[in-house]
A and B are shown apart, each in its own frame.
Chain A
Amino acid sequence: MGQTITEKILANHCGKKEVHPGEFIEANVDVVLGNDITTPPAIKEFEKIGIKKVFDTGKIMLVPDHFTPNKDIKSAEQVKLMREFAKKYKITHFFEVGCMGVEHALLPEQGIVYAGQLIIGADSHTCTYGALGAFSTGVGSTDMAAAMATGKVWLKVPEQMKFVFNGTLNKWVSGKDLILFLIGKIGVDGARYKTIEITGSTISKLSMESRLAMANMAIEAGAKNGIFIPDEKTKEFINNAWKKHKENKGKAFYFDSDPDANYISITEFDSSMIEPQVALPHLPENTKPISKVGKIKIDQSVIGSCTNGRIEDLRVAAKVLRGRKRHKDVRLIIIPATQEIWQQANDEGLFDVFMKAGAVISTPTCGPCLGGHMGILAEGEKAIATTNRNFVGRMGHPKSEVYLSNPAVAAASAVAGYIVSPEDL
């Protein structure tokens, strides 16, 4: 029996020739990640172990991004704990404000995560790195603590699901729409405990930004990991990113799935039938094609996050906003996900477009995506957002609402004052 890319990476990290779904393994990790919310409890657990050093000072990534730049005293104390922990244990990769970014946009861009690795992160969207052909999954703070001490994680080998997207994309449709469409089809627990492997003719033409956005939301279908088979685009992306961390150069392993690998399901979608998607409150599975959404007035539009705060996303938003102005009743908040993306957007003149459109441009932060800061909703308010979750109270008041979309729709809606396709502006 052949093996999938996921099974091959897992086997490769526990010294086995092959692994099978349902099997428990203790695997070696290449990268352990934590943020300003999840690292402080991990530090507390790590210190209970009573060990004097971390397993590898270069393989732990500490990214304060959720409430940073620190929104209040308590948040500042949390980041201080992280900073002091990094110093005490000589952890190389602590990303201070000024070089930080939203973690899942930052690590791929910096060449720190790449194909063939086994990555765990105390953040559910750690599944993002599957876009690079890595096995990558979210865990909790105690798992992070144990991995910082031992370099290992316990895992149950997941069952494998394959999704094939074939056909040409319609105008304004991106990876975000494909993954929202998929979640709408299988539900928020449709892939619970399982792998989502994504392939097909549409995918080979898809940009890395779009693939990252898709892998990012595998968790919204309950998946353990989302994964893409690396191709020339993946290699080009990784080689380019390695310019920033040359010590990693050449360390990637490009695995493939065997033709006779075992999947519990294989589902094909015709991409040419997919319109821009909107996920209505309060679950990401409540998706509708934009033409069926109706006229929903909004108070805020957020373009950013680990899902859609990359340069391609900002370019698309600028394309829609060029020569237009936000509706007077809509706050338009644009958050480039990393310092580098911020710089790039500035160099390309995108900020000029955004400012003329009446937007505000934030420093990198997760901020409003999780109702942290930088754009919290009041009771009864509605937002369209390029983020990944629309749970009750996700962006603020428990009686506010979040609608998820791609950046083009979020930009167009900011102009119209209600949810709309850029085609209908």
Chain B
Amino acid sequence: MQGKAWKFKDHIDTDLIIPARYLNTHDPMELAKHCMEDADPMFSSKVSKGDIIVAGENFGCGSSREHAPISIKAAGVSAVVAKSFARIFFRNAINIGLPIVELKETDEVNEGDILDIDFVSGKLTNLTTKKQYKIEPFPPFMKMIIDKGGLIEYVKSKIEGEK
């Protein structure tokens, strides 16, 4: 996948990603309209399909609201790259199939850089700066959930298997 980078700082919490005042719905398209609103009020109007969020440490800290990765996915963002992720956000992203990448060197990415992420070869390339980075593969158990297309598909295939 390829997309333009949107930069955010450390500790982007789930209230910044999708403020609680919009949580009286779980409609992905409604949530997408307010994605990242309290971090950047213009984000939802600026973001284009396939763009990539690039952030610092502890992305998605705070509440367990799955509305956060849902709003990011529905806004058209193709992946989130961060130095580290808060654990509930991390598992929510895996469970709903929002691609995430842990990369320590996100400071080397500038807003507007074009990034290419290849999960198969395990490489992230910054096409603007021509720098290439290795992506650590997910542990086998998580990869199995990702390959199935998320937790619900994984559960369905398990239930089918037991029949």
Chain B 63-79 residues near chain A, CB threshold 8 A: 63-67, 69-70
Interface size (B, Cβ < 8 Å)? 44
**Quick check: is B19 within 8 A (CB to CB) of the other chain?**
yes
Contact residues on A (Cβ < 8 Å of other chain), bracket: 35 or more
Query: Are the C-beta atoms of A50 and B156 separated by less than 8 Å?
Result: yes
**Assuming the A-B contacts A142-B96, A192-B87, are A124 and B152 also in contact, with contact meaning beta carbons closer than 8 angstroms in the complex?**
no
**Assuming the A-B contacts A49-B159, A75-B24, A394-B15, are A222 and B87 also in contact, with contact meaning beta carbons closer than 8 angstroms in the complex?**
yes
Chain B 86-122 residues near chain A, CB threshold 8 A: 86-88, 91-92, 95-96
**Assuming the A-B contacts A138-B88, A139-B91, A143-B95, are A389 and B155 also in contact, with contact meaning beta carbons closer than 8 angstroms in the complex?**
no
**Quick check: is B51 within 8 A (CB to CB) of the other chain?**
no
A214: min CB distance to chain B, Å: 18
Query: Are the C-beta atoms of B63 and A124 separated by less than 8 Å?
Result: yes
CA gap between A261 and B112 in the complex, in Å: 49
CA gap between A146 and B153 in the complex, in Å: 10
A102: min CB distance to chain B, Å: 14
**Quick check: is A41 within 8 A (CB to CB) of the other chain?**
yes
CA gap between A37 and B22 in the complex, in Å: 10
**Quick check: is A364 within 8 A (CB to CB) of the other chain?**
no
Binary flags per residue of B120-154, CB closer than 8 Å to A gives 1, else 0: 00000000000000000001011001000011101
CA gap between A341 and B159 in the complex, in Å: 43
Task: List chain B residues, Cβ under 8 A from A78.
Answer: 24-26
Query: Are the C-beta atoms of B150 and A142 separated by less than 8 Å?
Result: yes
CA gap between A141 and B64 in the complex, in Å: 8
Contact of B139 among A24, A121, A140 (CB under 8 A): A24
CA gap between A393 and B67 in the complex, in Å: 17
**Quick check: is A370 within 8 A (CB to CB) of the other chain?**
yes
Binary flags per residue of A33-53, CB closer than 8 Å to B gives 1, else 0: 000011011001100111100
Query: Are the C-beta atoms of A154 and B145 separated by less than 8 Å?
Result: yes
**Quick check: is B20 within 8 A (CB to CB) of the other chain?**
yes
**Quick check: is B5 within 8 A (CB to CB) of the other chain?**
no
Task: List chain B residues, Cβ under 8 A from A222.
Answer: 58, 61, 86-87
**Assuming the A-B contacts A141-B66, A189-B86, A391-B13, are A41 and B26 also in contact, with contact meaning beta carbons closer than 8 angstroms in the complex?**
yes
**Quick check: is B53 within 8 A (CB to CB) of the other chain?**
no
Q: In chain B, what residue has the closest Cβ to A143?
A: B95
Chain B 10-49 residues near chain A, CB threshold 8 A: 11, 13, 15-16, 19-21, 23-26, 38-39
Query: Are the C-beta atoms of B64 and A38 separated by less than 8 Å?
Result: yes
CA gap between A192 and B154 in the complex, in Å: 26
CA gap between A188 and B139 in the complex, in Å: 25
CA gap between A193 and B58 in the complex, in Å: 11
**Quick check: is B50 within 8 A (CB to CB) of the other chain?**
no
Q: In chain A, what residue has the closest Cβ to B70?
A: A41
Task: List chain A residues, Cβ under 8 A from B69.
Answer: 140
Interface residues of A (CB under 8 A from B): 24, 37-38, 40-41, 44-45, 48-51, 66-67, 71-72, 74-75, 78, 121-124, 126, 138-143, 145-146, 149-150, 154, 156, 188-189, 192-193, 222, 224, 283, 370-372, 389, 391-394, 398
